[in-house]
Chains A and B, each alone.
Chain A
Amino acid sequence: MEEALVNWSRGQFALTAMYHWLFVPLTLGLSFIMAIMETIYYKTGNEKWKKTTQFWMTLFGINFAIGVATGIILEFEFGTNWSNYSWFVGDIFGTPLAVEGIMAFFLESTFIAVMFFGWDKVSKKFHLVSTWLVALGSNLSALWILVANAWMQHPVGMHFNLDTARNEMGNFWEVLLNPTAVDKFLHTISSGYVIGALFVTGISAWYLLNNRHIRFAKKSMMIAAVFGIVSSLFIVVTGDSSGHHISRTQPMKLAAMEGLYEGQEGADLVAIGVLNPNKTLTNDEDAFHFKIAFPRLLSLLAERDADAFVPGMNDLVYGNEEQNIPPTSEKIRKGDMAIQAIKDYREAKENNNDSLAGVHLEKFNKFYHNMGYGYFEDEKEVVPPVALTFYSFHVMVALGFLFVLLFILVIWNTMNDTILSKRYLLKAAVWAIPFGYLASMLGWVVSEVGRQPWTIQDLLPVKMSTSHISTGNVQTTFWIFAVLFTILLIAELSIMIRQIKIGPK
């Protein structure tokens, strides 16, 4: 396929997905924070808590609208720009998207109207339930879309049907309870909770720095920081579990995340490092200009054994007999055979030769799990962009730990009522907001860049997934999206900042 078309299609998906992801995590986290606040209002009847809830709801609404605007395109883009992909896996991938709509989107859209406009129209209790349902709905929607994404990273519960030339679902529960999906869901929503927490903490800190709304800000800050610390701990646990799974399902991604070219027993985990840009798979240069590493920690985290072998990119591309890792060239050969078997099977079927078709079917099933490799010509194609994956991963992790520190300091100082005098901490809390978004975005870069060149791990490369359109068409829509979403983002930020300046009523 034309390389430019593949790249522009990828670029457009990345652009639209990242714009969407600017707004989603806040929805996930803030919806729960609002629901907790409204619960306190419901329990105490204190009008101040109602005003507090309503203020955060105003910001939620502004953010939600643009989240919806940027979200609709993603669902349809699977069809518009990834037609072959939709054909190849639509039988499985469409299901979570449909369930997301039926289970989550209707819940959100119905009760969000009650939440915003129902204060005087429904009972206090019904209103509270509506707010919780909005939180539930937004998180349920995250569940289903992440199940879909996880399936692409680690396809399970399906088989390939040669008669329809596509993968078909064999077990719904395997797709839903895919360990990659469980980790991904928990890790991603907790990152959303941390962003929600950083957002509320940061804005409250800004009020405190300006000596405004002091009581409101302290209350909001405390709830958010506690919510944030709990969520952060959850991120650490689920991040660890993700790493463990990736070592099994996407070892190449793990090697890229760590800049690991040569596999090692008792592999170190890089804490800080500067990659050597001249390093290639085959040359003898050092992979790093500089690094500080925790000894043997990578083996421990990935394999749950400090002495275990963690394969590097070279092992995965060129094979490692000692560790029983086949070279990519062999997988390419098997993939070729799988694809040839499809052709032969269909030819035999056309000639009504069922017994011959059966032979080819058997051959196909033998090589199915390597099918995607058959579309590659060069074994090096299976290596993702190392630097982007490596730096994204390390900056994300470092930021995550800094947020934990921030939440601890905020809770400590709020409890001791010393927060007002800690101006450096308040300033840090304000600055943490954009870094929270950065960390979350980088998480997606690790996940999606790190799994290149696959759309479906081992089964379908990105270059086989596009629609039959000219590059020019995709370029045009790319720029329309870029301009449109940027304008809407500016409008959103401008409105949001203004509302924050106005403050709670």
Chain B
Amino acid sequence: MFETLSHLALQQYWWVIISLLGALLVFLMFVLGGQTLIGQVANTEVQKDMAVNSIGRKWELTFTTLVVFGGAFFASFPIFYATSFGGAYWLWMLILFTFIVQAISYEFRKKPSNFLGQKTYESFLLINGLFGSLLIGMAVGTFFTGAEFSIDQVRITSPGDNIISRWESPLHGLEAATNIQNLLLGLSVFFLARIQGALYFINTIDDETVVGKSRKQLLWNTIPFLLVFLPFMVMLLTGEGFAVNPESGEVYMEPDKYLQNYLQMPVAGIFLLVGVLGVLAGIAITLFRQSNKGIWFTGAGTVFAVLSLFIVAGFNNTAYYPSTFDLQSSLTIQNSSSSHYTLTAMSYVSLLMPVVIGYIWYAWKLMNRKNISAEEMESGEHAY
């Protein structure tokens, strides 16, 4: 079935999957956002435990989605993997460090003899929530602003200077922080994660104080979110973009490229609109209608909005990982993908995704049937 598709069709199919994984990852960042809110929504130790256990039962899902996002990117666009990870070394390493300390913090936090003390593990969660979301947002920002690298395949034939993909900035990824647009996207992801974190607390915790404080946080994070996200979108839609000539593969700068992409691919525009409305609707029903279902609207909105960003980054003859050092080294979904055979094999594997999403949804439903309460925290059953 997949083998009959053209290479380009497979590349597009895989870009959609990568986009979907990226979008789901940003939705699941409610865990990261929640981690930064623990201290702000809880007064007492039990309330803190409730907050930690609420997101703590989902952290592995977020973490796994990040790992699968990386693995799927490797399998489908290995040239991006070789270029970005090996080049923007420090940006990715910092992201990874924050996830390393996240992974042990839930489990170790309250265990006796935990060596570093509960406060340290809680600060690890804070660090991961803050920098994990911010830096991933900045890394994705470079999809629109570019990075400094060069590619020369013939280097593989010279033992002395053999690395095909070369990073040309000595800062190895940290230079992304010098670009205002990257920063705006990083901060947008950060505040969005906090918005979602607050909504998830409201959805899963039975405690007036925690819910009340989460509502307040929701408001206080929506304002800065809009203040950073709107300028990001304005810059995106009014700035130049990295266009590709489909005939020659030549990359060139085109004014209003991303605006054009939205106009020429109405589905991306619709996704963006649905996304933004969904995010705002979730916030609105929570703040004005006292609903606890806001996370589903905002979460779905997040997925649509992020999907739309990935679509305009990679489709419609656009270089999704542009090189500002050497335009012609820029990565497109065509010049950076796996072979036809590999993408075909991987496409069959992708048929498992609905099954995976199905059992995740089923287990989620079962596990979230009952909200987290103070009684459960004090019952002595397994808890973080």
Contact = CB atoms under 8 A, between A and B. Distances in A.
B288 interface: no
Which among A130, A164, A491 has the highest number of chain B CB atoms within 10 Å? A491
Given A97-B75, A498-B113, A165 B86 contact: no
B106 A91 contact: no
A310 B376 CA distance: 65
A116 B342 CA distance: 37
A169 B103 contact: no
Interface stretch (B41-49, B134-142, B211-219, B356-364): B356-364
Which among B58, B64, B112 has the highest number of chain A CB atoms within 10 Å? B64
B194 interface: no
B345 interface: yes
B61 A110 contact: yes
Given A69-B100, A113-B58, A466 B349 contact: no
A343 B102 CA distance: 47
B89 interface: yes
Interface stretch (B91-99, B175-183, B226-234, B240-248): B91-99
A468 interface: yes
Contacts of A121: 366-367, 369-370
Q: Is the interface of B mostly helix, strand, loop or mixed?
A: helix
B67 A91 contact: no
Interface string B193-219: 000000000000000000000000000
Given A69-B104, A169-B339, A464-B162, A103 B115 contact: no
A113 B107 CA distance: 12
A197 interface: no
Interface string A118-135: 111110001000100000
A11 to B, nearest CB: 16
Contacts, number: 289
A199 B80 CA distance: 42
B348 to A, nearest CB: 9
Interface stretch (A43-51, A78-86, A293-301, A394-402): A78-86
B111 A80 contact: no
B75 A109 contact: no
A464 B159 contact: yes
Contacts of B57: 113, 117
B64 A80 contact: no
B339 A87 contact: no
B87 A468 contact: yes
Nearest to A68: B103
Interface stretch (A58-66, A277-285, A405-413, A437-445): A58-66
Nearest to A466: B163
B2 interface: no
Given A102-B72, A484-B97, 15 more contacts: A1-B163, A69-B100, A72-B99, A75-B67, A83-B164, A84-B156, A91-B342, A122-B366, A172-B345, A468-B163, A487-B115, A490-B115, A491-B115, A498-B112, A502-B112
Interface of A: 1, 54, 57-58, 61-62, 64-66, 68-70, 72-73, 75-76, 78-88, 90-95, 97-103, 105-114, 116-122, 126, 130, 161, 164-166, 168-170, 172, 339-340, 342-343, 346, 375, 464, 466-469, 473, 477, 480, 484, 487-488, 490-492, 494-495, 497-499, 502
Interface of B: 57-58, 60-61, 63-64, 66-68, 70-72, 74-76, 78-79, 81-87, 89-90, 92-93, 96-97, 99-104, 106-108, 111-116, 153-154, 156-157, 159-160, 162-167, 172, 338-339, 341-342, 345-346, 349-350, 352-353, 356, 359-360, 363, 366-367, 369-370, 381-383
9 contacts: A86-B85, A101-B67, A110-B60, A110-B61, A169-B342, A343-B154, A484-B100, A487-B115, A498-B112
Leading 9 A-B pairs by shortest Cβ distance: A90-B78, A79-B85, A83-B86, A467-B86, A101-B68, A94-B75, A69-B103, A94-B74, A109-B60
